[in-house]
Amino acid sequence: MKKDDIIIYACVIIGAGVGLLIDNAIPGVLIGLGIGYLLKTMFFNKTNE
């Protein structure tokens, strides 16, 4: 598992938890996936390496 993928997994899990609070986990997972991908590209882009 790469270090930058952990951000995506964490956001998906958090999104699923929030989605379960509103009784619908799938939209929470998708929103968490999008936020995780955005955070990954912000923190781990090729210019920083």
pLDDT in tens, 1-49: 787 889 999 999 999 999 999 888 899 999 999 999 999 998 887 665 5
Q: Which helix (H) or strand (E) holds 27?
A: helix 25-43
Domain parsing of the chain, residue ranges: 5-43
Q: What is the CA radius of gyration of the chain?
A: 12
pTM for the structure as a whole: 0.81
CA-based end-to-end distance of the chain: 18
Identify the residue whose tokens are 């790469």: 2
Contact 19, 27 (CB under 8 A): yes
